[in-house]
Chains A and B, each alone.
Chain A
Amino acid sequence: MIPSLLGTWLYRKAQADRWRVGEAAFVRALGASAAKADANLAADAAGLERYLRSLHLEDLALACACSAGDEEAWQHFVLTYRPVLYRAANTISPGGGGRDLADSLYADLFGLGGHAGDERRSLFRYFHGRSSLATWLRAVLAQRQVDRVRADRKTAPIPDDDSRGAMPSPAPAPDPERDRFVVLMRRALPLAIAGLAPAERFRIACYYSEQMTLAQTGRLLGEHEATVSPISRAAARRSGPPSSGICASSIN
C-alpha cells in the first residue's frame, strides 16, 4: 500500500498527467513494480519509498500511457524510441533481419500479437521502471534475437579454429604433444571452469564468450574496469593449471 501523499508526489514528479495517465492507474503501476522487485517491500515503508523514488518515473508514465493506447504517448514513443530500436536490432542482427525483429517487437508493444477479437495486451505491462525504457527495449530485443538464433541452432559443436571469431591459431610450436594437448584441453577446460566461483565464471563468460569490454563487464558486476582485468586474468590462470593437470595426467 503506497501512502497517498507519496503516490501523489511521485505522480507529479513523473508528469504522468502529460499523457493523461490517471493517478490511480499510475499508483497501481508503482505497486506492481514494487511487488515485482520484492514482495516484502510493502511492509517496509522507508524501503518502499526509497525504491519508488529510484524508479525511472517518466519512462514508467510513458509506458503506462502507451499500454493504455494514448495516441500522443505513442507518437512520442515512436519518435523517440523507434530509431533506438532499429539501431539496436541492426547491431545484433545485421543484414536486414534486424528490421523484422524491431517491427515484430513494435507490434507486440502495441498489443497486436493476439488473435482478432482478443483484448489488446501490450508488452509494456512488463516494464516496471527499474531501468530506463531504452535499456528495457534493448533487453527484450536481445532476448528475442537470442531465442531465435538458439531455436535455429541444431547442435552446438565447439567451433573449429578457422571459424569466424576464433583467435588465429598460433604458429606450430616445436611441441610434439601440442595437438594432443589441445584436444585434451578442450575436454578439460569446461570442467576447470565449473570449479571456479560463480562470479569468476561470469567474468570469463562476459569477457571471453560474449566479447564484452572490461567496462561493460565491470558495470554488470559493480566493479571498476581496472579491477575486472586482473581478476579475469587471474581467473583464467586459475582455470589453466587444473586443465593442464588433467591434460598432463592424460598425456603421461
Chain B
Amino acid sequence: MTNPRDRSVEQGLQKARLPPAAATSSCLDPEVLAAWADGGLSGAALESAQVHVADCDRCQDILGAMMRTEVAVPTDERAAVHPWRRWLTWAVPATAAAAVVAISVWLNVPDASRRSESAAAGASAARERSASSLPTPPPAPGRRDIAAEPVPGPVQAAAPPAALATAAKAAVPEAQEERQGRVAGAGVAAAATDRVAAEPAAASLLSDAATSDDPARWRIRDGAAEHSNDGGATWTRVATGVTAVFTAVSAPGGGVCWLAGGSGIVLLTIDGESWAGVNFPDPVDLVSVRAVDASQATVTASDGRTYSTVDGGVSWATAR
C-alpha cells in the first residue's frame, strides 16, 4: 500500500473498532485465553474462541494486553510452552538414533541370498568392517551368535518405538543384550527369543517368554503389549487399563509379567490378566526391564540409570 488512499486505509484499520461492548456471558475467561495462548485449545473450542474474539473488542484488548506482557516471562519458560519447540528437541536426535538402530539391525541380519562361498566371504568381510564400528554385545551363554551365521527365514527385529527413539542411541547395546540374554538368572532359554518371532519382523517388536516350553509369550509391538497362549501362533493385545507406549517386557514365568515404558510407567501382572501400576520414583523413559519374579526386577532408563527392586516395586535402588 503506497498511495495516499491506501495509507489512509491502513490508518483507518488501526483506528476502526467496534463500539466498546460490555462483558458478555460469551466473553472468554482468562483460563480459556491462557489455554489458547499456550496451545491448550483445539478443535471446536479453538474455533469458537477465534470466532468470538474476531467480533469482541474487549477480548481483543485482553489478548493484546496478554501478548504485551509476554516479555515479563523468563525466556526458558516461554520456550517450554511452545509444543513445536519441545517436539524439535527430541525429533532430531530421535531421527538420528533411529538411523543408528536401523543400521545396527541391518548389519546383524545377513541376507539369505548371499549364501554362495564368494558372496558369503565378501559379505562377511564387509559386515566385519561395518560391525567393527558399532558396539557388538557378546552373545549370552548358550546363545547362537546370529551375526556369525545366516538365519533362515524371518528374524527378530528389536527397534524401540519411534516415539522413544531418543533413548535408542544409548540403549542399543542394552536392547540387544536384553534381547539375547534376558532374564538369564531365571533360566530363560535364549533360543526361545529366536522362535518367538513367528511372523515377519515388525518395526518395533520385543518379546519374552519364560522358557522354550512355556506356551505363554509376551511381546511389545508398536508400543503396545501383546500376549500369546499358543507359543506365538496367535497374539492378542493386552488391556492394561493404561494407554501408554511400552518399550520393554519381561516374563519370568508363572503368569508374571513386567511392562515398562515412557515417563516411568511400570506395570505388573501376576496372573496374566489384571495389571497394577508399580510405584516408580522418576518419570523417566524406560528402555528395558529384567525380572526374576514378581518381586525382583531391574529396569533401565534412557539415560543409562538402572533401578532395582526386590519388593515388587514398593522401593527402588538406583545405580549408574
A: which residues have CB within 8 A of B?
3, 5-6, 8-9, 12-13, 36-38, 45-46, 49-50, 54, 56, 84, 87-92, 126-128, 130-132, 134-136, 138-143, 145-147, 149-150, 153, 156, 158-159, 161, 165-167, 170, 173, 175, 178, 181-182, 185-186, 189-190, 193, 198-199, 201-202, 204-206, 208-213, 216, 219-222, 233, 236-237, 239-240, 243-244
Contact = CB atoms under 8 A, between A and B. Distances in A.
Nearest to B275: A5
Binding site secondary structure of chain A: helix
Contact of B14 (A167, A181, A212): A167
Closest 9 CB pairs of A and B: A210-B64, A87-B72, A130-B35, A142-B65, A139-B30, A131-B34, A198-B54, A130-B40, A88-B69
B129 interface: no
B260 interface: no
A37 B49 CA distance: 13
B50 A202 contact: yes
Interface stretch (B5-13, B163-171, B220-228, B290-298): B5-13
Size category of the binding interface on chain B:
35 or more
B92 interface: no
Given A13-B283, A173-B4, A212-B64, A91 B10 contact: no
Given A9-B265, A142-B30, 11 more contacts: A9-B242, A91-B71, A130-B41, A131-B81, A142-B69, A146-B65, A190-B18, A202-B54, A205-B54, A211-B68, A220-B37
A209 B10 CA distance: 11
B243 A49 contact: yes
A233 B9 CA distance: 11
Contacts of A142: 30, 33, 62-63, 65-66, 69
B37 A219 contact: yes
30 contacts: A5-B276, A12-B280, A13-B264, A131-B40, A135-B81, A138-B34, A138-B70, A139-B34, A139-B62, A147-B23, A149-B61, A158-B15, A167-B7, A175-B5, A182-B8, A185-B8, A198-B50, A199-B50, A202-B54, A202-B60, A205-B53, A205-B60, A208-B13, A209-B60, A210-B63, A212-B63, A219-B37, A219-B39, A222-B46, A243-B9
Contacts of A132: 34, 38, 77, 80-81
A219 B50 CA distance: 12
A123 to B, nearest CB: 10
Nearest to B35: A130
Contact of A220 (B13, B31, B36, B40): B36
B33 A91 contact: no
B58 interface: yes
Contacts of A153: 20
B66 A138 contact: yes
Contact of A185 (B9, B33, B41): B9
Contact of A46 (B68, B81, B243): B243
A151 B132 CA distance: 75
Contact of B65 (A37, A56, A92, A237): A92
Contact of B37 (A126, A131, A150, A201): A131
Contacts of A219: 37, 39, 82
A236 B66 contact: no
Contacts of B35: 128, 130-131
A9 B277 contact: yes
B263 interface: yes
A167 B45 contact: no
B185 interface: no
Contacts of B80: 132
Contacts of A220: 36-37, 50, 63
A204 B66 CA distance: 17
B69 A141 contact: yes
Contacts of B88: none
B37 A139 contact: yes
B242 A5 contact: yes
Of A92, A202, A233, chain B has the most CB atoms within 10 Å of the CB of A202
A130 B279 CA distance: 26
Given A13-B263, A37-B45, A240-B6, A131 B67 contact: no
Contact of B62 (A87, A90, A146): A146
A143 B30 contact: yes
